[in-house]
């Protein structure tokens, strides 16, 4: 997909003696979106944007070193060795040594003559890095102006890390004017370097506008970008927000706790396996983090208030280093763990700022290459009109809880949850984990139409993966039964089922769904689950049990029932 961006100006920072200005140029091809105000805490904003940039440029995937030069050298040494076997006289050996020395002299002379060329080539590469790097390798962040905050969303280069920076209007000394909407901003390496020059003694203006810092210099303010947008980038937003709607294990840690973890990882390196962070959670006791393979224990300053003891291992821990600049200004960190080898999410409370870092199961397993969490978020079938009703209600209010949006749309709570889940899957909405609310956010400039809603509903009803197709077949044949549906004290249900797979074997899937419909736990006795658990997505038996539960919810759901 080719993403067209057109900027009338360029994002820049101008620092005067007494006043500075931060101006972000927005994509003119998107809806009119702007915000103008004065920053009350410019240094806090600077550090948060620096952390966002570190996520954007980070790439932790393993790539083998280019060893072509080494193999060429090794081949030359083999040639010389074979040639030396044929030398029978000392005179021939002396002649060979002289030729080798002469060749070294000629190579040195050639390098000296080529020095100006190499210097010019390096200058050209530096120019490309400063001015063209983002055109090839970086995707400009998505910025959304909400009624109560402005947020920046971005993925890392390896697409294994998602970051969202939300700045509430409390960050501003004064907000002069704003228009809600979503667009892209020009976010270059040059801008990042200029951010470091922000100071607290300067009064700093903050502008998000189509023109950015539009200095008229022979038409240089008009910039166009044509980026070949990978499909995985769009799918990544789907999987991230699907994960956030799961019932994950949650606890808090202090900034010093994460600092101790990152400091140890910086000091010690290993190539041995396993290289995991192992969280040991026991109710009423301090949380322990084990760094493998050293088995180094970091005891957190907080206790775990969950209902049962559990151990959760996560991988890709080096990606936490991007938070280094935020730890001195961080008040609290909320950690959300999806399960063994599954994504982990860190929400940093920075006062008027909130920084969310979502890590996939491990670095090489990006947000689109592993588990399909969207399969676990789908609930009831919704019609095109119900989907349009929910979108219109969300667009009017821009932000709201599930219950509030159910009232605004005139739908039942479960129907509203399903519609919001579908809207997140197509980039028309997002789930704010820190605020536990849904927000309107359109990834693309095309307006949401009834035709798109109808196409979405049609596509959603068609199983897209082998597990979905198998689950649909099991459900339609009546080979799934809910044996027990037990309500729990904290809300929600624990379900136990019996499913007959396509291979004829009978298995026992289990589900734990909380009062908001979020999946807390899923188990099955089948071979697929025993080998992979949820790291490659749910098995067909878990999905079939979810379908049976949704059918029962559809019978119980009624508009206006928000309990």
Predicted pLDDT at 374:
60
Structural contact between residues 329 and 49, judged by C-beta atoms closer than 8 angstroms: no
Q: What average pLDDT does this structure show over 73-102?
A: 76
- Determine the Cα–Cα distance for residues 206 and 236; give it in Å rounded to an integer: 30
Which own/partner pairs from 116-124 qualify as long-range (CB within 8 Å, at least 24 positions apart)?
Answer: none
Query: Is a pLDDT exceeding 60 seen at residue 430?
Result: yes
Q: What average pLDDT does this structure show over 93-122?
A: 86
- Determine the Cα–Cα distance for residues 496 and 481; give it in Å rounded to an integer: 9
**Token pair of 497, please?**
């089922």
Q: Which residues make Cβ contacts (< 8 Å) with residue 547, sequence separation at least 6? A: 471, 472, 475, 480
Query: Is a pLDDT exceeding 90 seen at residue 350?
Result: yes
Q: Is the pTM of this model over 0.95?
A: no
Q: What is the pLDDT of residues 218-263, one digit of tens each?
A: 344 555 555 555 666 677 777 787 778 777 889 999 999 999 999 9
Q: What's the whole-number average pLDDT of the chain?
A: 81
Give the right CATH number for 466-556 from 3.10.450, 1.10.8, 3.30.70, 3.40.50: 3.10.450
Predicted pLDDT at 70:
78
**Regarding predicted confidence, which is higher, 217 or 364?**
364
Structural contact between residues 289 and 258, judged by C-beta atoms closer than 8 angstroms: no
CATH of domain 378-460: 1.10.10.10
Third-level CATH fold of 238-368: DNA Polymerase III; Chain A, domain 2 (3.10.150)
Q: What is the pLDDT of residues 515-548, one digit of tens each?
A: 666 777 889 999 988 888 877 778 889 988 988 8
Q: What is the pLDDT of residues 180-209, one digit of tens each?
A: 888 877 776 767 777 777 888 788 888 887
Judged on CB neighbours under 10 Å (0-12, 13-18, 19+), 230 is middle
Q: Residue ranges per domain, the chain? A: 1-60+90-215, 238-368, 378-460, 466-556
Q: What average pLDDT does this structure show over 360-368?
A: 73
Identify the bridge partners of residue 23 per DSSP, sorted by sequence position: 12, 207
- Determine the Cα–Cα distance for residues 413 and 408; give it in Å rounded to an integer: 11
């Amino acid at each position: 997909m080719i993403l067209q961006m057109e900027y009338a100006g360029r994002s820049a920072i101008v620092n005067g003696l007494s006043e500075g200005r931060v101006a972000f140029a927005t994509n003119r091809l998107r809806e009119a979106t702007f915000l103008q105000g004065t920053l009350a805490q410019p240094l806090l904003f600077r550090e948060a944007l620096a952390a966002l940039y570190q996520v954007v440029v980070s790439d932790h995937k393993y790539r083998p070193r280019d060893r072509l030069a080494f193999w060429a050298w090794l081949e030359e040494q083999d040639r010389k060795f074979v040639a030396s076997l044929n030398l029978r006289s000392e005179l021939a050996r002396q002649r060979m040594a002289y030729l080798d020395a002469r060749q070294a002299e000629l190579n040195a002379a050639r390098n000296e003559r080529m020095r100006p060329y190499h210097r010019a080539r390096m200058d050209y590469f530096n120019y490309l890095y400063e001015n063209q790097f983002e055109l090839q390798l970086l995707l400009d962040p998505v910025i959304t102006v909400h009624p109560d905050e402005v947020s920046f969303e971005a993925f890392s280069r390896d697409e294994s890390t998602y970051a969202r920076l939300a700045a509430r209007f409390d960050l501003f000394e004064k907000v002069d004017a704003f228009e809600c909407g979503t667009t892209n901003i020009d976010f270059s390496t040059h801008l990042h370097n200029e951010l470091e020059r922000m100071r607290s003694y300067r009064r700093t203006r903050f502008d998000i506008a189509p023109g950015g810092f539009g200095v008229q210099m022979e038409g240089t303010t008009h910039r166009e970008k044509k980026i070949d947008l990978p499909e995985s980038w769009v799918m990544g937003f789907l999987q991230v927000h699907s994960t956030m709607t799961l019932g994950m294990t949650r606890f808090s840690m202090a900034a010093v706790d994460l600092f101790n973890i990152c400091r140890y990882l910086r000091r010690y390196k290993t190539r041995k396996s396993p290289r995991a962070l192992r969280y040991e959670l026991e109710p009423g006791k301090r949380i322990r983090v084990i760094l493998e393979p050293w088995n180094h224990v970091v005891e957190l300053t907080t206790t775990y208030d969950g209902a049962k003891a559990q151990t959760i291992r996560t991988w890709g821990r080096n990606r936490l280093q991007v938070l280094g600049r935020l730890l001195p200004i961080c008040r609290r960190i909320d950690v959300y763990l999806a399960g063994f080898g599954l994504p982990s999410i860190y929400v940093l409370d920075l006062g008027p700022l909130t920084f969310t870092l979502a890590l996939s199961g491990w670095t090489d397993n990006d947000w689109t290459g592993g588990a399909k969490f969207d399969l676990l978020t789908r609930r009831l079938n919704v019609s095109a009109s119900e989907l349009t009703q929910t979108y219109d209600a969300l667009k009017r209010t821009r932000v709201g809880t599930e219950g509030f949006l159910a009232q605004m749309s005139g739908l039942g709570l479960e129907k509203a949850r399903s519609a919001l889940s579908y809207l997140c899957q197509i980039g028309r909405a997002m789930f704010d984990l820190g605020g536990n609310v849904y927000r309107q956010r359109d990834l693309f400039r095309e307006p949401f139409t009834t035709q798109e809603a109808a196409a979405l509903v049609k596509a959603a009803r068609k199983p897209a993966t082998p597990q979905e197709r198998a689950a649909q077949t099991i459900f339609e044949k009546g080979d799934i039964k809910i044996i027990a549906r037990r309500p729990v004290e904290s809300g929600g249900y624990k379900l136990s089922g019996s499913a007959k797979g396509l291979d004829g074997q009978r298995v026992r899937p289990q589900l734990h769904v909380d009062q908001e419909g979020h999946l807390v736990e899923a188990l099955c006795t089948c071979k697929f689950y025993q080998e992979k658990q949820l790291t490659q997505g749910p098995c067909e038996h878990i999905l079939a049990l979810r379908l049976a539960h949704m059918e029962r919810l559809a019978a119980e759901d009624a508009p206006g029932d928000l309990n």
